[in-house]
Amino acid sequence: MILGLRTKLSLSYILVVLTSIFLISVLTNIFLDNQFREYVKKNQEQKNREVVSAISQQMSIDGAWNMGVIENIGVNALENGLIIKVRNSSGKVIWDASVHNNGMCQRIIEHMSHNLNSRYPYMKGSYIERPYDIKRDGNSIGAVVIGSYGPFNLSDNDLTFINALNKIFIGVGIFSLFFALIIGSQMARILISPISRVIDAAKSISRGYFTDRIHEKSSTSEICQLTETINGLADNLEKQELLRKRMTADVAHEFRTPLATLQSHMEAMIDGIWKPDTERIKSCHEEIVRISKMVGDLEKLAKVEGENLILNRSNFNVSELCESIARNFESEYKAKGLEIKLDLEEQYIEADRDKICQVIINLLSNALKYTQTGGLVQIGIRGDEAIAKITIRDNGLGIPEEDLPYIFERFYRADKSRNRLSGGSGIGLTIAKAIVEAHKGKIEVNSKVSEGTEFIVTIPKIFIKGLLETSSR
């Protein structure tokens, strides 16, 4: 059975209260019952002693008993549930309650039996007589035999007290039950309200509405974390949806221009407007090469982002690799009037040399494209026992702050006009990030408009086994 949070919380509060009341009632009853029995026994013994003391004072100096007072004492004791019998020094009974009023004695015994059985039905009681000596100056002058229903005499007042105590426990239990129900329902309402809002927001997200956010505050840290997580998820999905739509438009834009050029050239040659000479065919071939290059970039991206990427790992000096790549770019940098400066420390890493080479080439190509004539590009390599850090810094155009979070996305370019003279198709940085992350490293970017851009690539020196299934084939 699936129950709601409100029901479960209410039931849990009720269960806790009932369990607590039950345990308290049982333990308190056991403790109080023992104390109550001791109290009743001591109270009964005290009454017996008072009766004996009162009767012992009714013998005169000449040895005569005041029978009138003794009778009054015996009648009062009978009303208190005590059946007394008085003997003189010779053992002769001088007053007996059962003789005085046998019917009342029987009713008292029955009443005491009823009181005891109503409270302790498992306890078998019986009529018990206890003798007490009457002494004067250390000499026995008689005895008082006091009979009662035992093992202890439970009076009406005693029974009323213990029953009232039980009723108080029952009343407290009922009150606590309703109080727990109210508190449980209120707590459930406080907890359910933000959770219900989270559920509604999650449903909206599942239907593709990523703009819904949860603004309700909660004093429960876990619920705050849940709402923050859902809001963060909605933010990320909204951004991804915008990037997906932009990527679709960008892909269409990238392919539309060369395809439109091809179509117009081919139609012109078919219609006889242009002659299919070598120059026209060469122009069409260039557009085909451009399309092939973009398809190749997409295939390369799919390969490096795939789950089965194979890294041909080897141990090599990344500083030597950077120096070699920089020499290959030297002529292009000089042709544009750029200076390239190296500040390299010897750092060995265990990685795929070709793929790390591709990352560095992509970053140097970007620096070449976006640094104006007379600019400076710096390559630095530092490291410690665990990592090697490659830094490529330029003083070129820089990247607007609003574009920085998205530059590693597919086809994303800060140049909204997508002018081919200012850059490629926008896949290079995406491929570079995928390669770096495949090596369990990270790539970061810092940039300011008109001041330049800095890319920082961090690669672990030792490839940790188990993080990625690789092969050295």
- Closest C-alpha among 89, 102, 81, 100 to residue 146: 81
Residue located via tokens 């029953």: 163
Q: Which residues pair with 455 in a beta bridge?
A: 392, 445
Higher-scoring residue by pLDDT: 448, 101 = 448
Residue 359: per-residue pLDDT: 93
Residue 472: per-residue pLDDT: 36
Residue type, 473: R
pLDDT tens readout for residues 146-199? 887 777 677 777 778 878 877 887 787 788 778 877 877 777 777 777 778 788
Phi, psi of 344 (to 5 degrees): -115, 135
Which range, of 36-45, 108-117, 402-411, 421-430, averages the lowest pLDDT? 421-430
Q: Is a pLDDT exceeding 50 seen at residue 368? A: yes
pLDDT tens readout for residues 248-258? 776 777 778 78
For 229, residues 6+ apart whose C-beta sits below 8 A from its C-beta are none
Q: Could you give the count of Cα atoms lying within 13 Å of 85 in the half-sphere of its Cβ?
A: 15
Tokens linked to 214: 């949860």
Higher-scoring residue by pLDDT: 268, 195 = 268
Higher-scoring residue by pLDDT: 93, 79 = 93
Give the C-alpha distances (Å, rounded to integers) separating 339 from 334, 448, 455.
7, 20, 18
Give the C-alpha distances (Å, rounded to integers) separating 342 from 177, 234, 360.
79, 44, 13
pLDDT tens readout for residues 215-228? 777 777 777 888 88
pLDDT tens readout for residues 229-240? 888 888 888 877
- For 359-391, the DSSP string reads HHHHHHHHHHHHS-TT-EEEEEEEE-SSEEEEE
- Tell me the average pLDDT of the chain: 81
Q: Are 399 and 449 in contact (CB under 8 A)?
A: yes
Tokens linked to 44: 């009964």
Residue type, 216: E
Residue type, 318: V
Domains and CATH numbers, the chain: 5-171 (3.30.450.20), 221-289 (1.10.287), 308-460 (3.30.565.10)
pLDDT band at 467 (very low <50, low <70, confident <90, very high): very low
Q: Is a pLDDT exceeding 50 seen at residue 421? A: no
pLDDT tens readout for residues 390-416? 999 999 989 998 888 888 877 666 655
Residue type, 76: N
Q: Are 85 and 77 in contact (CB under 8 A)?
A: no
pLDDT tens readout for residues 344-360? 999 999 999 999 999 99
Residue located via tokens 């000449």: 62
- Closest C-alpha among 287, 260, 292 to residue 268: 260
Residue 363: per-residue pLDDT: 93
pLDDT band at 140 (very low <50, low <70, confident <90, very high): confident
- Closest C-alpha among 102, 65, 67, 64 to residue 83: 102
* Predicted model pTM: 0.49
Residue 468: per-residue pLDDT: 38
Q: Is a pLDDT exceeding 60 seen at residue 445? A: yes
Q: Is a pLDDT exceeding 70 seen at residue 383? A: yes
* Cis previous bond, 400, omega within 30: no
Residue 327: per-residue pLDDT: 92
Spatial distance between the Cα atoms of 472 and 23, rounded to a whole number of angstroms: 69
Residue 414: per-residue pLDDT: 60
Q: Looking at residue 220, what DSSP letter applies?
A: -
Tokens linked to 338: 């750029």
pLDDT band at 418 (very low <50, low <70, confident <90, very high): very low
pLDDT band at 466 (very low <50, low <70, confident <90, very high): very low
